[in-house]
Amino acid sequence: MRLALFLGCTIPTEQYAFEISVRETLPKLGVKLVDMNGASCCGCPLRSVNETAWLYLSARNLALAEEMKLDVLPLCNLCELSFQEVRKLLASRPDLKERINSLLAKEGLHFGGDSQVKSLLGVLYDDVGLERITQSVKRPLNGVKIAAHYGCHTLMPSEYERPDDPWNPHKLEDLIRAVGAETEDYREKLACCGALLVASAEDALANVAWSKLKAILDRGFDAMALVCPFCHKMFDARQEAFNLAVGREHVSLPVFYYVQLLGWAMGISEKGVGLNLNMSPARTLLRKVRRRRAS
Amino acid sequence: MGRSSETGPRLRVSQPVRTSKSLPTLVAELESMIGNQKPGYCYQCAKCTSSCTASKYIPEFRPHEIVSMARLGLARQLLESDLIWMCAGCQKCVECCPQEVSPYEVLVALRNIASEMGFIPNGYVRMTGTLLEKGLVQPEQTAATRNLEFFDRESLKLPALPAPSDMKRFSSILREAGFDKIVRRGKS
């Protein structure tokens, strides 16, 4: 399977561990990734101030994928949802499609809607499949319990094609079990990371993210696995900042991109999946796995 | 629309600029563009507010009330309020609305009109400027590690950042789409 790799803004400018682990892991599972020359922002961050520009930017990147004759894999949940929204909207509104295509023509591009939009969760679960993933595991993560955090846009709104059920998802949990770790359902599973409050309500954001970290620790999980760069930025990179901002109990939870755990379980080195870049105490989980295996 | 003292959100927005278009014209433009927002269908069950991420910590942010105000034609009060920028964008309200109203899209529409009128939070102005210059809304950052090492794409051996091949043309198209106004207003 060959896919156009769409990185968006947040991943290639700061969430390097996600990009590194995906580039290293997916090809080993039969997913070839082709970089998109000329790619730009998906437009989603600016949808609030200019809908036309949002439509144009998403359609522009979809048009680039069409030129490559490939389906596209946007790694970021916001980009992925944005592409799905714009695809559906332009398919149902020929007038809008024409207007956007007249803008695209100035760059010699055309949006037809031929490229399908893939999500990382969908590619791992539905295309690669649990069986192949289970077979690829050389270092199972036995003896640790990992909480699944799907991220809101992976699941909703379900009027757009989403990779899992909006209220009762299971794919990430199945994938966590496939690498040998334990997991279980928990009440706060669908709680948002709050990332998009960053521009407007920092205090609220700190409380949103900190509360979820605390709930996961209170329920006895050893770590958290997720698939979205914004969620990771909140729970991993800003964990200490939120501890300070909230000023209550100090929480300390190892947070991973799921692909990092998968790659490590497949035998890729810690650096190979960018674990040195995690700001949360990620390595404590791997030490725990090693200790359990030794004993 | 009171503001609680503890969570009281404070938002800097750029100076309003008078638009030549009337409010109904702007609202009609947005409605025709989005197409599927129907605040009139809302029967105020408040499921949106009970599922709302922001509402838990910003009590005065209540999506069902915002939809109600939009329905009652009180758009101007909303447009000039910081409140419409407090949404966390999680879209749970969209998923759980029994009437398919989408408070989220009502908010996006209101934000677009507010922007057209010149009420734009500074963060968006910054992102727009970076987009016009680089094609992405954020420039490359240096990543710090727990061991106080610092990395960028080059030292991590990652390929160069993607960018539109003709940046001039790319930004002129975006300016045509209306981003020029946003950047200029941000500087005023």
Question: Which carries the bigger pLDDT value, residue B32 or residue A13?
Answer: A13
DSSP code string of B60-80? T--HHHHHHHHHTT-HHHHHT
DSSP code string of A215-263? HHHHTT-SEEEE--HHHHIIIIITHHHHHHHH-SS-----EEEHHHHHH
- The identity of residue A235, as a single letter, is F
Asked whether the CA dihedral A253, A153, A80, A71 is positive or negative, the reply is positive
Residue A69 CB: number of other CB atoms within 10 A?
10
The verdict on whether omega for the bond into residue A157 sits within 30 degrees of 0, i.e. cis, is yes
| Averaged pLDDT, A148-170 | 96
Minimum distance, in Å, between the CA of residue B9 and any CA atom of chain A? 6
* pLDDT > 70 fraction of chain B, expressed in percent and rounded: 79
Q: What is the pLDDT of residue A239?
A: 96
| Averaged pLDDT, A63-83 | 98
Confidence band, pLDDT 50/70/90 cuts, at residue B16:
very low
Is residue A266 within 8 Å of A25, Cβ to Cβ?
Answer: yes
Provide the mean pLDDT of chain A. 96
| Chain A hits for B111, Cβ within 8 Å | 48-49
DSSP lists the bridge partners of residue A255 as A224
Q: What is the pLDDT of residue B37?
A: 59
Q: What is the pLDDT of residue B5?
A: 37
Is residue B63 within 8 Å of B37, Cβ to Cβ?
Answer: no
CB contact under 8 A, B151 and A201: no
Question: Which carries the bigger pLDDT value, residue B32 or residue A166?
Answer: A166
| Averaged pLDDT, A208-214 | 97
Q: Please indicate if any CB of chain A lies within 8 Å of the CB of B135.
A: yes
Confidence band, pLDDT 50/70/90 cuts, at residue A147:
very high
Q: What is the pLDDT of residue B17?
A: 47
Question: Which carries the bigger pLDDT value, residue B52 or residue B72?
Answer: B52
Strands B150-151 and B143-144, by their bridges, are antiparallel
Decide if pLDDT at A34 tops 90.
yes
CB contact under 8 A, A192 and B146: no
Estimate to the nearest angstrom the gap between the alpha carbon of A172 and the chain centroid: 11
- Chain B residue closest in CA terms to A97: B33
Tally of helices (H runs) and strands (E runs) in chain B? 10, 2
Is residue B115 within 8 Å of A48, Cβ to Cβ?
Answer: yes
Question: A45 CB contacts (<8 Å, ≥6 apart)?
Answer: A9, A78, B124, B127, B137
Q: Which of A153, A203, A205 sits opposite B91 (nearest CB)?
A: A153
Q: Per the structure block, which two tokens stand in for A82?
A: 């944005």
Estimate to the nearest angstrom the gap between the alpha carbon of A206 and the chain centroid: 20
Q: Please indicate if any CB of chain A lies within 8 Å of the CB of B94.
A: yes
pLDDT tens column, B136-156: 999 999 999 999 999 999 999
Is residue B8 within 8 Å of B77, Cβ to Cβ?
Answer: no
Asked whether the CA dihedral B28, B33, B36, B39 is positive or negative, the reply is negative
Q: Which of B57, B115, B143 sits opposite A277 (nearest CB)?
A: B143
| Averaged pLDDT, B88-116 | 90
Decide if pLDDT at B9 tops 50.
no
Q: What is the pLDDT of residue B39?
A: 74
Q: What is the pLDDT of residue B3?
A: 38
Decide if pLDDT at A145 tops 50.
yes
| Averaged pLDDT, A13-17 | 98
B92 sits in which H/E element: helix B92-96
CB contact under 8 A, A51 and B33: yes
| Averaged pLDDT, A173-198 | 96
Minimum distance, in Å, between the CA of residue B164 and any CA atom of chain A? 4
CB contact under 8 A, A157 and B95: yes
CB contact under 8 A, B124 and A49: yes
Distances (CA, A) of A208 to A185, B50, B165: 19, 15, 40
Q: Per the structure block, which two tokens stand in for A18?
A: 């996600």
Confidence band, pLDDT 50/70/90 cuts, at residue B69:
confident
Confidence band, pLDDT 50/70/90 cuts, at residue A282:
very high
Best mutation target, A36, A40, A54, A240, to test chain B (most B CBs within 10 A): A40
- The identity of residue B68, as a single letter, is S
Decide if pLDDT at A2 tops 70.
yes
Decide if pLDDT at A203 tops 90.
no
Best mutation target, A11, A49, A100, A189, to test chain B (most B CBs within 10 A): A49
Q: What is the pLDDT of residue A200?
A: 81
Q: What is the pLDDT of residue B123?
A: 87
pLDDT tens column, B146-188: 999 999 999 999 999 999 999 999 999 999 888 888 887 654 4
Q: What is the pLDDT of residue A62?
A: 98
Question: Which carries the bigger pLDDT value, residue B178 or residue A37?
Answer: A37
Q: Per the structure block, which two tokens stand in for A209?
A: 């993210």
Count of CB contacts below 8 A, A vs B?
195
Q: Which of B139, B143, B169 sits opposite A16 (nearest CB)?
A: B143
How large is the angle between the packed helices A51-67 and A94-104, nearest 10 degrees?
A: 70
CB contact under 8 A, A20 and B82: no
Decide if pLDDT at A67 tops 90.
yes
Q: What is the pLDDT of residue B129?
A: 94
Question: Which carries the bigger pLDDT value, residue A175 or residue B24?
Answer: A175
CB contact under 8 A, B33 and A200: no
| Chain B hits for A10, Cβ within 8 Å | 138
Q: Which of B9, B90, B182 sits opposite A50 (nearest CB)?
A: B182
Q: Per the structure block, which two tokens stand in for B28?
A: 């009609």
pLDDT tens column, A246-277: 999 999 999 999 999 999 999 999 999 999 99
Q: What is the pLDDT of residue B97?
A: 93
Distance CA A74, CA A81 (A): 9
| Chain A hits for B5, Cβ within 8 Å | none
Helix, strand, or coil here: A34?
strand
CB contact under 8 A, A51 and B124: no
Helix, strand, or coil here: A86?
helix
CB contact under 8 A, B124 and A56: no
DSSP lists the bridge partners of residue A74 as A6
CB contact under 8 A, B33 and A52: yes
